[in-house]
Structure 1
Amino acid sequence: MDYSRGMTVSINDTRSKIWSTEQLPPAERLDYWIGAICEAFLEMHASAYNVEHFHARLEAVSLDALVVNCVTHTPQNIYRRKADIARSRDNYSYLICNTTSAWQVSQEHIASHLLPGDMVVLDSRSRYELNFPTSANTVSVQLPIGWLETWLPASQQLLGRRLDGQQGWGLALRTLLQQLTVDSVESLVLPARLIADQIGALLSLTAQAHTSGEVGSSRSGALVEKIKQGIRVRCAEPGLVASSIADDVCVSVRTLHRHLAIAGCTFAEILMTERIALAHRMLTSPAFVRLNIAEIGYRVGLTDPSHFARAYKRRIGVSPARARTKN
């Protein structure tokens, strides 16, 4: 694959480059994109949720010792594996912020669910995976490892962990990252090093707040468990809504949804899981053998028999009738 086919180079070639799948036929886009990210970043692999409709664009520009990469793309997964690491001659850290959608990231044994505007730090010396289930607009700042260590002496403790971009220093860092485009960097009236140092300083402050907030995260975990328990107790109520559980645990609906999102789950997902678990216990218990399947669905809050059957099979792997027959 000739990667130059989709690449446009700015007039100032030492400063910025653009890779895009726009001019390529659908069958060639993903292969081109894999080569492009390997050239622009490091050795990596990518897969697309829908190859036929896959599109991606990457703009890269130098900012003193850093490189700012602005990426827009349709749903995709990015992997850096052991074989990729072995083929790489250079290594870097990356500060990544997806400003438009929720996504997931994992590095080694740490997995995080991120909200739009949240950030994460990754190290190319270890395996990682990025999952973008919806289209995304991402800023990825390439950081020399030595440079990062001058700002974050214990950077390894942050790898793969969600940095809150919704408040405090994290919001300030996110706001700065959102301003970084090829045009804005190339037209800077301030020294590039000053902006790079600003990124380092805000990242350091965000990391400090993250460490201090770990006590708060344990409280958040306790609240999530309280929410789950409330759903478990009331899951059989038809029409149960998040506001009812929020009232039970004395928080706002917004707070309920935010803490569940941080924990990587949703109200609807937990509610359905609890309802199907209750239905499964009833279907496999002799005590409920006289109840027909539709009645069991009704008793767990799923009043539409066909919806109940589909939801049950999706989670258990067999139909309600089959589950009852097996027992």
Structure 2
Amino acid sequence: MLPSTLLDSDHLEPGERFEFWRHALSTVIAPMEITSDRTADFEGRMRLIMLEDIHVFPVTMRAAAARRTARLIRQSDPDLLHLALLAPGANPLAVSQHTARDVTGPGELYLVDTSRPFTVRATSSGLPLSGHCVEIPKSRLSLPPRTPVGRILGRSLSGTRGFGGLLAHLLGHLGAQHHTYRPSDAPRLATALTDLVTGVITQNLDAGPPPDPAVAERTRFLAIKEFIERHLADSALTPAAVAAHHHLSTRHLHRLFQQHGTSPAAYIRRRRLEQAHHDLSTPARTPIQTVAHRWGFTSHAHFTRAYTRQFGVSPTRTRRRVLDQQRPGS
């Protein structure tokens, strides 16, 4: 699985939790002054996922405020963009940086630059803060010189339309499925994430598509993979259906996948098998045929053959190993 670290205040005594969380946020993002009205019963949890020099983390925490000052910037500046996407039902955040003062609500996102002072605070002390955050080096972004990124810093941006919607889907997917990837996948995921953040910026600046044609092509490929991920359970998902949805010829679709050493059909089959393998490797006693159907296989015999070729062991043997491990004394 991808390198990740769980940071959870729950294992600490109540009086130690806020200081633990204050230190964690200042380490992961940048040094900040963090305050909260809920220090006595503070709770926070994040799963820090490392994609090379990019950090991604789903987070849930009590209401708080964070302030990055000029003094703290002089002391330490990681030269990052901090992006936060708020989850449905999350506490809206009042964000200010540069000339912007805005409120970001559920389903929306904002960007701030760690090299400039900013303030982020919860608008209600009673609602939790929850969402997905990205810490990305500014040097990674494929932006032309003098791109006026400052125009969108601190402003509320859509997390449901355009590149914002695609980015939101990727972040949700990484939070839920990070364990299904290998460490060697991290560079490709980092590139995909970088392209999407670049797309969010240029789209919101009305600067048109990303300036590098290679970035646009990688973004298209990512959109195709995300579409496949959302529809793995649909037995009608075929290369022809994928190509039609993205207004491509099947030949063009095959060419895109060939650049990554596979074919559309092989990629769909591999992702279905990986999801089925994950389900069969858990203690749940869901029937094997149900698992196969859940991930788009209409023939149990075909699923068994494909699974055995992929993993070198049958679905039945996988399930038996898991159940044997659950027996007392095993």
Residue 75 (structure 1) shift: 1.0
**Given the alignment of the two structures, is residue 88 of structure 1 paired with residue 76 of structure 2, yes or no?**
yes
SS at match of 1:166: coil
**Given the alignment of the two structures, is residue 202 of structure 1 paired with residue 196 of structure 2, yes or no?**
yes
The within-5 A match list for 1:1-327 is 15-88=3-76, 90-100=78-88, 101=90, 102-132=92-122, 133=124, 134-150=127-143, 153-181=147-175, 184-188=177-181, 191-212=185-206
* Counterpart contact for 2:104–2:155, Cα < 8 Å: no
Instruction: Report the equivalent of 1:315.
Output: none
- Deviations 1:33-63 (CA, angstroms, capped at 9, x unpaired): 1112222222112111222221111221211
Q: Using the alignment, how far apart are the partners of 2:148 and 2:98 within structure 1?
A: 17
Residue 151 (structure 1) shift: 7.8
Q: Using the alignment, how far apart are the partners of 1:147 and 1:205 within structure 2?
A: 13
Residue 125 (structure 1) shift: 0.6
Instruction: Report the equivalent of 2:318.
Output: none
Letter in 2 for 1:103: L
How has the CA–CA distance of structure 1 residues 76 and 35 changed in structure 2, closer, same or farther, with 3 Å as cutoff?
Answer: same
Q: Using the alignment, how far apart are the partners of 1:173 and 1:39 within structure 2?
A: 24
Q: Using the alignment, how far apart are the partners of 1:84 and 1:73 within structure 2?
A: 23
Residue 24 (structure 1) shift: 2.1
* Counterpart contact for 2:141–2:198, Cα < 8 Å: no
Letter in 2 for 1:97: L
Q: Using the alignment, how far apart are the partners of 1:108 and 1:150 within structure 2?
A: 20
How has the CA–CA distance of structure 1 residues 212 and 89 changed in structure 2, closer, same or farther, with 3 Å as cutoff?
Answer: closer
TM-score (normalised: structure 2): 0.55
Letter in 2 for 1:143: I
* Counterpart contact for 1:118–1:174, Cα < 8 Å: no
Q: Using the alignment, how far apart are the partners of 1:20 and 1:129 within structure 2?
A: 24
How has the CA–CA distance of structure 1 residues 19 and 104 changed in structure 2, closer, same or farther, with 3 Å as cutoff?
Answer: same
* Counterpart contact for 2:3–2:49, Cα < 8 Å: yes
Residue 149 (structure 1) shift: 4.8
Residue 159 (structure 1) shift: 1.4
Letter in 1 for 2:199: L
How has the CA–CA distance of structure 1 residues 149 and 160 changed in structure 2, closer, same or farther, with 3 Å as cutoff?
Answer: farther
- Deviations 1:191-222 (CA, angstroms, capped at 9, x unpaired): 32322222233333333332349xxxxxxxxx
How has the CA–CA distance of structure 1 residues 208 and 191 changed in structure 2, closer, same or farther, with 3 Å as cutoff?
Answer: same
* Counterpart contact for 1:38–1:44, Cα < 8 Å: yes
Identical pairs, percent: 20
Q: Using the alignment, how far apart are the partners of 2:159 and 2:77 within structure 1?
A: 32
* Counterpart contact for 1:75–1:136, Cα < 8 Å: yes
SS at match of 1:180: helix
Residue 136 (structure 1) shift: 1.9
Which blocks of at least 5 consecutive residues in structure 2 are unaligned? Answer: 208-330
Which blocks of at least 5 consecutive residues in structure 1 are unaligned? Answer: 1-11, 214-327
- Deviations 1:121-174 (CA, angstroms, capped at 9, x unpaired): 111011111112320222111111100254894433321122111323322221
Letter in 2 for 1:140: C
Q: Using the alignment, how far apart are the partners of 1:110 and 1:122 within structure 2?
A: 10
Letter in 1 for 2:154: G
SS at match of 1:177: helix
How has the CA–CA distance of structure 1 residues 151 and 177 changed in structure 2, closer, same or farther, with 3 Å as cutoff?
Answer: farther
Q: Using the alignment, how far apart are the partners of 1:92 and 1:168 within structure 2?
A: 23
Q: Using the alignment, how far apart are the partners of 1:136 and 1:111 within structure 2?
A: 19
* Counterpart contact for 1:163–1:207, Cα < 8 Å: no
* Counterpart contact for 2:98–2:150, Cα < 8 Å: no
SS at match of 1:160: coil
* Counterpart contact for 2:111–2:155, Cα < 8 Å: yes
Letter in 1 for 2:23: G
Letter in 2 for 1:157: R
Residue 65 (structure 1) shift: 3.0
Letter in 2 for 1:147: R
How has the CA–CA distance of structure 1 residues 90 and 166 changed in structure 2, closer, same or farther, with 3 Å as cutoff?
Answer: closer
